[in-house]
């Protein structure tokens, strides 16, 4: 298996819709294994293929639900339906979100409390997951990556302004930036 560098906000692959997977073959299964290894090395809870520079509709996850039960899997060509996103302001303590492609930073963001993801696994078999709370947040975050949306694109005006300032001060927003899990310091301090 191979650990891949994680591209940073500004890399074009992060800002456009990823392509459907057409071939369920050994190359796909190898890519999925590499994504799991990269996710583990990054100490993250989810990783979409665009985050490693691959413009395909795939994401892996390894995250707990609100009851502490660990969930691990892969979604290929997923669809997602969700409950309504609350219209209230996000809470800095309860609604904070981060992203491996916006390394070391986090901002409050409201998400739907419930989702249902339908997809294919790495062998082309149907899989489905219903999630609430934290795990639902992870699913929405990774699904957004497949559509060229980063969580900072969804922030309220107050937090968006802070994020834009931080992005400029970090020199992000341009192509060619990445960090290497397991080699570079963990940007989230795990």
Q: Is 99 annotated as a binding residue?
A: yes
- Kindly write down the DSSP assignment for every residue of 82-124, as one continuous string: EPPPP-SPPPTTTSEEEETTEEEEEEE----SEEEEEEE-TTS
Is residue 142 annotated as part of the catalytic site, yes or no?
yes
Rounded Cα–Cα distance for residues 62 and 72 (Å):
4
Rounded Cα–Cα distance for residues 117 and 156 (Å):
25
Q: Is 71 annotated as a binding residue?
A: no
The sign of the torsion formed by the CA atoms of 65, 71, 72, 75 equals: negative
Active-site pick, 69, 128, 142, 157: 142
Cite the active site residues: 142
Detail the residues annotated as belonging to a binding site.
99, 141, 145
Detail the residues annotated as belonging to a binding site for Fe cation.
99, 141, 145
């Amino acid at each position: 298996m191979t650990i891949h560098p994680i591209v940073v906000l500004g890399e074009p692959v992060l800002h456009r819709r990823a392509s459907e997977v057409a071939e369920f073959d050994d190359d796909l299964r190898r890519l999925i294994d590499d994504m799991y290894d990269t996710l583990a090395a990054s100490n993250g809870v989810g990783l979409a293929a665009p985050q490693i520079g691959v413009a395909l509709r795939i994401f892996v996850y390894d995250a707990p639900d609100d009851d502490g039960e660990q969930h691990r899997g892969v979604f290929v060509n997923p669809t997602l339906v969700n409950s309504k996103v609350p219209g209230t302001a996000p809470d800095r303590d309860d609604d904070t979100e981060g992203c491996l492609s916006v390394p070391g930073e986090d901002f409050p963001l409201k998400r739907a409390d419930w989702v249902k993801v339908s997809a294919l696994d790495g062998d082309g078999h149907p899989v489905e997951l219903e999630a609430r709370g934290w795990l639902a947040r992870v699913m929405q975050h990774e699904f957004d990556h497949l559509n060229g949306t980063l969580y900072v694109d969804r922030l309220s005006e107050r937090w968006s302004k802070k994020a834009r300032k931080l992005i400029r001060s970090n020199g992000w927003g341009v192509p060619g930036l990445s960090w290497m899990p397991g080699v570079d310091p963990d940007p989230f301090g795990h």
